[in-house]
Amino acid sequence: MKVFLVGDNRTSINWGRGASIALRETISKSFAISGCITGDFFDLSIAEAGYVHTLTPPRYYRQFRQLFNRRNGRIVKWYIRLEHLWGAHDFISEDPQASVDSLLAEKHRYPALGRIYDEAVAADLFVLDGDGDIIFSTPPRRSTLFLLAMIELGLRLGKPVFLVNSMVSDCPTSGRNRHTLAQARSLFSRCKAVALRDYESLRYVQSEMPETNASFIPDSLFSWFSRYECAAARPPANGDFLLSYPERTEDWGKLDFSQPYICIGGGALASAYPDRAIESYSRLVRMVRRLGYRVYLTESDLPDSFLRRVATEMNVGIVPAATPILMCGAVLARARLFISGRYHPSILASLGGTPCIFLGSHAHKMGSLAELMEYEPLREFDAFPDDAENDQIMTLARSYLEQGEGLRDRIRSVAAKHADRATRLPEFLNQHLSSVSLQ
């Protein structure tokens, strides 16, 4: 059967691209990927994505819109009003039905929308990678609204729709967007099945969307466990060999993987406040160095570029965001310890048995991963740990390091269990498709 895969992020520099590669690999064992929405094809972060009927090029229209939202100046206000009079709008609406109506109306005029429609029609079923995008924030995330629109499109075309690999959460900063939640509740209940990647998301859906056919299936990245079982799956002793283009002079000679090391990574919440993050992470690096290990920073996404300042100020090595993804995993899987607010890098570390100390991020992702990996006690530290929390992080770090291979073996056994279940996703899809056909 042919799958229309929505939300494939393998073209993103974010290390979460490994999960998208793993998801595609897993699905391809039983299905043909006939259509796919990737970031380079329809990237919601760029200005052109979704804007139609604009007088100026869409990227400028979006910039004016952003300026209007920040300042609402008279000139900007009149410009936006003029654009609206001429029909300019974002096809990604807070109403999924309106989004699909707009897509259908504009598909002949805009090639990207036409391709979405053509590939959707040609497929036998929709599989949407929810990843960490379904957060009911105010204002709503465009990525959330786009996924809801694609569910609506699949249902309108009469295709079986599956949402997989997903987190679902309220927003910890803006609270719950009840309108978006209501839209999701209606659409999820009409999907053939929804697979949540963590227990907390499953509990949320079961509580707030009881009509949804919801199950727990671990993140697809766990299926890479076998890649890191082999002792040869390790970074080169000379870390200069993994530095990616453009190789910065200041990075040379800073990474030595022949000696035990600890990695510290960024986080989505930390990267939103880079000045505060630089100060906080510099303190963290200073304290972690006292453990007697080399300390390396991992820039697992471009917003984590604040770590470059930390690396320069603290004179430590940094693994660039553009490092080949399997090598990223090897670095984390062979570390003695990983401290981070990033979800997928923490999974990569866990595949090799590396103990993780979890820092806060958007929504519940890091705390839920700690639960998934069976850490006791469950602990998620602040995204910007202060001196008191740093002392607690140090105490926990010493405990993990003292437990040595016994703890690493336990982490690997939990990861192996999740890997086995993650690889069964095609079986999960086929079971629900078979039950539909039998009805």
Same structural domain for residues 248 and 340? yes
Residue 79 covered by a domain: no
Task: Specify the 3-state DSSP secondary structure of 274.
Answer: helix
Same structural domain for residues 372 and 242? yes
Task: Say what the pLDDT of residue 46 is.
Answer: 45
Same structural domain for residues 416 and 428? no
- What are 180-198's pLDDT values in tens digits? 999 999 999 999 999 999 9
Q: Cα(327)–Cα(155) distance, rounded to whole angstroms?
A: 39
Task: Say what the pLDDT of residue 319 is.
Answer: 97
Q: Cα(92)–Cα(131) distance, rounded to whole angstroms?
A: 19
pLDDT band at 166 (very low <50, low <70, confident <90, very high): very high
Same structural domain for residues 237 and 368? yes
Residue 22 covered by a domain: yes
Q: What is the mean pLDDT of residues 210-220?
A: 97
Q: Please state the pTM of the whole predicted model.
A: 0.90
Cα-Cα end-to-end distance for the chain:
19
- What are 351-371's pLDDT values in tens digits? 999 999 999 988 899 999 999
Same structural domain for residues 328 and 276? yes
| In the predicted structure, residue 401 carries a pLDDT above the cut 50 | yes
Residue 21 covered by a domain: yes
Q: Which residues pair with 38 in a beta bridge?
A: 8
- What are 29-76's pLDDT values in tens digits? 999 999 988 765 565 554 445 666 666 666 666 666 666 666 666 767
Task: Say what the pLDDT of residue 87 is.
Answer: 63
Residue 380 covered by a domain: yes
Task: Say what the pLDDT of residue 297 is.
Answer: 98
Residue 73 covered by a domain: no
| In the predicted structure, residue 342 carries a pLDDT above the cut 60 | yes
- H helix or E strand, kind and range, residue 417: helix 387-422
Q: What range does the domain containing 185 cover?
A: 2-50+91-217+424-438
Least confident of 152-156, 241-245, 320-324, 331-335: 241-245
Least confident of 245-259, 333-347, 416-430: 245-259
Same structural domain for residues 285 and 341? yes
Task: Say what the pLDDT of residue 217 is.
Answer: 97
Q: What is the mean pLDDT of residues 295-313?
A: 95
Q: Cα(215)–Cα(420) distance, rounded to whole angstroms?
A: 15
Q: Cα(127)–Cα(19) distance, rounded to whole angstroms?
A: 14
* Cis peptide upstream of residue 139 (ω within 30 degrees of 0): yes
Task: Say what the pLDDT of residue 111 is.
Answer: 78
Same structural domain for residues 271 and 207? no
Q: What is the mean pLDDT of residues 392-408?
A: 97
Q: In sequence order, what are the residues at sequence separation of 6 or more whose Cβ sits closer than 8 angstroms to the Cβ of residue 211?
A: 185, 188, 189
Residue 64 covered by a domain: no
Least confident of 58-67, 124-133, 199-208, 241-250: 58-67
| In the predicted structure, residue 439 carries a pLDDT above the cut 50 | no
On average, the pLDDT of the chain sits at 90
Task: Say what the pLDDT of residue 79 is.
Answer: 67
Residue 63 covered by a domain: no
Same structural domain for residues 328 and 211? no
Same structural domain for residues 208 and 320? no
Same structural domain for residues 132 and 7? yes
**Residue 163: CA atoms inside 13 Å, Cβ hemisphere, count?**
34
Task: Say what the pLDDT of residue 52 is.
Answer: 63
Indicate the DSSP class of residue 376.
S
Higher pLDDT, 269 or 71: 269
| CATH number of the domain enclosing 379 | 3.40.50.2000
Share of the chain above pLDDT 90, in %: 72
C-alpha closest to that of 262 among 229, 232, 225, 289: 289
| In the predicted structure, residue 270 carries a pLDDT above the cut 90 | yes
The number of folded domains in the chain is: 2
- What are 98-139's pLDDT values in tens digits? 999 988 988 887 777 888 999 999 999 999 999 988 999 998
Q: What is the mean pLDDT of residues 211-233?
A: 93
Same structural domain for residues 236 and 185? no
| In the predicted structure, residue 410 carries a pLDDT above the cut 50 | yes
- What are 317-335's pLDDT values in tens digits? 999 999 999 999 999 999 9
| CATH number of the domain enclosing 99 | 3.40.50
Q: Are 351 and 224 in contact (CB under 8 A)?
A: yes
Task: Say what the pLDDT of residue 436 is.
Answer: 54
Residue 414 covered by a domain: yes
Q: Cα(19)–Cα(8) distance, rounded to whole angstroms?
A: 9
Same structural domain for residues 191 and 277? no
